[in-house]
């Protein structure tokens, strides 16, 4: 893997980011709703005060000027101030990011840990009851709306059975001073096991909800590629060598079958970003997704713009990671 | 004569397909004696590969062995548990696949693919640890050397795609021979190779056979290869054996019209390198075959008597033929 390739990728990213910024800018400008009015709310203010606030937020300038300012500032790493928090947008996002990354990682782990074994089992027991159940399940998984499934889980486990908390990231009594910002890690680093269990119990339902569509897709991919691989000559030859079933399935078949799974997983991780907005809102998860949703309602333009740029960069980088993984797993391909 | 190493009786292997039951192997008897090389010839689809996949216990769904006994050294392979069968495969009987380019796993190094055979079957190795790993590595390198791949040590770390087709064929042979099997089934070991490499690979098999004293089943389309390397030959047609005997005799005096057709289509004495030229007509559909002689529709000599089922007949010592016009019925 050469540095040149990496540079090329980064250069390819620039027009994408510019285009994305433009679209977001236009969409925010075209959606009805005025941030100043929203901020004022029910308070009674004089027209002068309102004008001052508008000037203060830079909203008195025409839109093309605002876009130009945004781009030139963004190039220097300045994304402006959040209208609502009155602090730099980058700081606000950085604060919320660990919660989102933690949730996404747990969702990814949940998805991989269920999808791969299920996909393999469905393939080696093709047309069995299990295979059929998995097929129906994965169809539901991709088609069920995330918020609906989330609410369903919440009603069952949090409201009805009361074995898991309804929302939030951790209970008040378990709050700890953060180190990395990942609560599952920090609680362990602080040696606070009960807080760890508390954080874990909070993350389970949102992670399952977030990971469900991905689980469904990865299961299908794994099943299909496993079936394909099991038909290959090299699997028959491995059997002809008298190797154990385990070795044939896992070393010979799965190693090849996982190549598509892993690259799809890397690409699909990008789609977790979108899922985060819904799931974080449903489960009151204090992450970036919920922040973005709130910011859209508040017409908090700078924050939405910066967050969308962040999503775009992450998405492209994940695609790049997918390519790297594909190469690493597949000795025939050299980037 | 001593008991054969491999003795297959009445083998019948079928595939359930949407169109019906394909009877790919129908009542095949094969015996392979110790140290001999048996050639199997026949048109594409005549059941050569399926016969020996059945012997290896590698017939996969929707296929299944419907009848027959398969004795290896007197041991009934069909009665073995899957685990016992795995101990036989790769150790007592080894196989090389028809297509060397697809038979090696692209994601594993060649070294690992040889080593795992030793790991599975070789009980003389140290039990565990680095001594075992080293012993396996040495043996793997030795096998690559045996099949004529130079600087074996470093090539063990390479992946199949880094080798040429002929090299991969040799690697497959090295893997098959790793545990000194009693029987090697070489399924068209030369089809994918160019002529000079073909000759080298066949020389290699013949040489190693002599050295290790193993038996070889050589499946091929090439009668020239059979003439040069095989002690006996078996001709298959539409899932049945139709003629069998010592190579020289079969080539000099073929008994079955099909065999005669095969040989007539090749300009002699330059048998070598000639593929089987198709005889007029088509191989019958293997679904729902009538009981008559399977070659009936293509046979220049066919007559009404051929519409009855034809059993194997004896045509002299060690010779059998499935045609009512030659040989004598066996009791
Ligand atoms: N998986 C399968 N499903 C259905 N039919 C099959 C299957 N495998 C083999 N057959 C049938 O079995 C018959 C014999 O096939 P086999 O591979 O043994 O032929 P062959 O003599 O080895 O031919 P070739 O020279 O092309 O290798 C073929 O007619 C084929 O249609
Ligand atoms: Mg074949």
Q: What is the pLDDT of residue A204?
A: 93
Atom nearest to B50 CA in ligand 1: 18
Q: Are A318 and A265 in contact (CB under 8 A)?
A: no
Chain A residues within an 8 Å CB radius of B106: 234, 256, 330-332
A95, part of any domain: yes
A323, part of any domain: yes
Residues A110, A32 share a domain? no
Is the predicted pLDDT of residue B325 greater than 60, yes or no? yes
Specify the residue for token string 């008897």. B29
User: Percent of chain B beyond pLDDT 70?
Assistant: 94
Residues A220, A142 share a domain? yes
Residues A302, A231 share a domain? yes
> Which residues 217-246 of A are in CB contact (within 8 Å) with B?
232-234, 236-245
Residues A155, A301 share a domain? yes
Comparing A35-39, A108-112, B48-52, which segment has the lowest mean pLDDT?
A: A35-39
Is the predicted pLDDT of residue B54 greater than 90, yes or no? yes
| Closest alpha carbon to B187 in B174, B204, B169, B199 | B169
Eight-class DSSP state of B283: P
Residues A215, A172 share a domain? yes
Residues A68, A117 share a domain? no
| pLDDT per residue as tens digits for the range B205-255 | 888 888 888 999 999 988 888 998 999 999 999 999 999 999 999 999 999
CB under 8 Å, gap of 24 or more: what pairs does A51-57 form?
A57/A83
**Helix, strand, coil percentages for chain B (3-state, nearest 5):** 35, 25, 40
Over range A176-180, report the average pLDDT.
Answer: 84
Question: Atom 18 (ligand 1): residue with closest C-alpha?
Answer: B47
- On whether any CB of chain B is under 8 Å from the CB of A332, the answer is yes
Residues A126, A170 share a domain? yes
Domain count of the fold of chain A: 2
A84, part of any domain: no
Q: Is A252–B82 a contact, with Cβ atoms under 8 angstroms apart? A: no
Residues A51, A122 share a domain? no
Atom nearest to B236 CA in ligand 1: 21
Indicate the residue among A75, A97, A117 that finishes a domain.
A75
Higher pLDDT, B65 or A328: B65
- On whether any CB of chain B is under 8 Å from the CB of A125, the answer is no
Specify the residue for token string 């069909």. B78
What is the CATH number for A305?
A: 1.10.3720.10
A236 CB-side CA count, 13 A: 23
Residues A68, A185 share a domain? no
Residues A182, A321 share a domain? yes
Eight-class DSSP state of B3: P
How sure is the predictor about B269, in pLDDT bands with cuts at 50, 70 and 90?
low
Indicate the residue among A75, A106, A131 that finishes a domain.
A75
A104, part of any domain: yes
Q: What is the pLDDT of residue B72?
A: 95
Is the predicted pLDDT of residue B330 greater than 80, yes or no? no
Q: ipTM score here?
A: 0.90
Q: What is the pLDDT of residue B277?
A: 55
**Residue A32 belongs to what domain range?**
3-75
Residues 6+ apart with CB under 8 A from A245: B82, B86
A334, part of any domain: no
List, as ranges, residues with CB under 5 A of the ion ligand 2: B 49
A230, part of any domain: yes
Q: CB of B14 closer than 6 A to ligand 1? A: no
Residues A108, A59 share a domain? no
A83, part of any domain: no
With CA atoms as reference, the chain A residue closest to B119 would be A243
Over range A98-111, report the average pLDDT.
Answer: 94
| Closest alpha carbon to B197 in B126, B258, B147 | B147
CA distance A111 to A105: 10
A81, part of any domain: no
CB atoms within 10 A of CB A318: 18
CA dihedral sign of residues B69, B176, B178, A250: negative
Is the predicted pLDDT of residue A49 greater than 60, yes or no? yes
Radius of gyration of chain A (CA): 24
Higher pLDDT, B197 or B255: B255
Q: CB of B24 closer than 6 A to ligand 1? A: yes
Atom nearest to B51 CA in ligand 1: 18
Q: Is A239–B82 a contact, with Cβ atoms under 8 angstroms apart? A: no
Cis peptide preceding B269, ω within 30 of 0: yes
Residues A295, A230 share a domain? yes
Chain A residues within an 8 Å CB radius of B103: 233-234, 236-237
Q: How far is B244 from chain A (nearest CA, A)?
A: 27
Q: Is B90–A252 a contact, with Cβ atoms under 8 angstroms apart? A: no
Comparing A230-239, B267-276, B286-295, which segment has the lowest mean pLDDT?
A: B267-276
């Amino acid at each position: 893997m050469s540095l040149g390739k990496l540079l090329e990728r980064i250069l390819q990213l620039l027009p994408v980011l510019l285009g994305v910024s433009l679209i977001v800018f236009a969409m925010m400008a075209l959606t009805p709703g005025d941030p100043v009015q929203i901020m004022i709310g029910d308070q009674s203010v004089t027209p002068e005060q309102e004008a001052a606030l508008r000037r203060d937020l830079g909203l008195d300038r025409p839109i093309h000027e605002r876009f130009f300012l945004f781009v030139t500032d963004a190039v220097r790493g300045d994304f402006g101030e959040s209208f609502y928090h009155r602090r730099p947008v980058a700081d606000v996002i950085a604060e919320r990011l660990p919660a989102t990354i933690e949730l996404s990682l747990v969702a990814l782990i949940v998805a991989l840990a269920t999808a791969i074994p299920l996909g393999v089992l469905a393939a080696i027991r093709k047309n069995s009851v299990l295979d059929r159940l998995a097929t129906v399940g994965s169809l539901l998984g991709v088609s069920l709306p995330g918020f609906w499934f989330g609410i369903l889980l919440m009603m069952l486990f949090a409201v009805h059975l009361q074995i898991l908390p309804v929302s939030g990231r951790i209970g008040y009594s378990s709050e700890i001073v953060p180190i990395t910002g990942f609560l599952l890690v920090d609680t362990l680093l602080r040696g606070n096991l009960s807080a760890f269990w508390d954080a874990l119990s909070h993350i389970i339902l949102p992670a399952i909800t977030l990971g469900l569509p991905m689980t469904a897709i990865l299961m299908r991919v794994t099943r299909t590629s496993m079936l394909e691989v099991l038909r290959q000559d090299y699997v028959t030859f491995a059997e002809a060598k008298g190797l154990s079933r385990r070795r044939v399935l896992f070393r010979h078949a799965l190693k090849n079958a996982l190549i598509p799974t892993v690259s799809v997983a890397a690409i699909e991780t990008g789609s977790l970003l979108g899922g985060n907005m819904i799931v974080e809102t449903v489960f009151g998860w204090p992450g970036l997704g919920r922040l973005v949703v709130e910011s859209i309602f508040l017409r908090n333009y700078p924050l939405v713009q910066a967050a969308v740029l962040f999503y775009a960069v992450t998405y492209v980088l994940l695609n790049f990671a997918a390519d790297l993984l594909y190469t690493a797993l597949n000795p025939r391909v050299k980037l | 004569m001593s008991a054969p190493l491999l003795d297959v009786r009445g083998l019948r292997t079928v595939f359930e397909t949407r169109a019906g039951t394909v009877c790919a192997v129908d009542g095949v008897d094969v015996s392979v004696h110790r140290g001999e090389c048996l050639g199997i010839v026949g048109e594409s689809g005549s059941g050569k590969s399926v016969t020996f996949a059945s012997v290896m216990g590698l017939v996969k769904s929707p296929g299944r062995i419907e009848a027959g006994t398969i004795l290896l050294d007197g041991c009934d392979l069909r009665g073995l548990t899957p685990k016992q069968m795995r101990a036989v495969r790769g150790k007592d009987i080894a196989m090389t696949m028809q297509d060397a380019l697809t038979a090696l796993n692209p994601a594993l190094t060649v070294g690992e693919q040889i080593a795992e055979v030793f790991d599975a079957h070789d009980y003389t190795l140290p039990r565990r640890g680095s001594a075992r790993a080293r012993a396996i590595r040495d043996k793997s390198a030795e096998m690559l050397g045996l099949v004529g791949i130079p600087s074996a040590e470093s090539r063990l770390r390479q992946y199949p795609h880094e080798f040429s087709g002929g090299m991969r064929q040799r690697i497959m042979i090295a893997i098959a021979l790793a545990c000194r099997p009693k029987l090697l089934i070489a399924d068209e070991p030369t089809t994918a190779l160019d002529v000079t490499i073909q000759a080298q690979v066949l020389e290699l098999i013949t040489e190693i056979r002599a050295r290790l004293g193993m038996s070889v089943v050589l499946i091929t389309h090439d009668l020239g290869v059979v003439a040069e390397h095989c002690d006996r030959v078996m001709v298959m047609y539409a899932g049945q054996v139709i003629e069998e005997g010592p190579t020289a005799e079969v080539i000099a005096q073929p008994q079955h019209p099909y065999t005669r057709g095969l040989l007539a289509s090749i300009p002699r004495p330059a048998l070598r390198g000639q593929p089987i030229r198709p005889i007029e007509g088509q191989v019958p559909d293997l679904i729902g075959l009538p009981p008559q002689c399977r070659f009936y529709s293509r046979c220049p000599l066919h007559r009404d008597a051929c519409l009855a089922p034809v059993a194997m007949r004896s045509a002299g010592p060690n010779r059998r033929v499935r045609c009512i016009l030659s040989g004598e019925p066996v009791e």
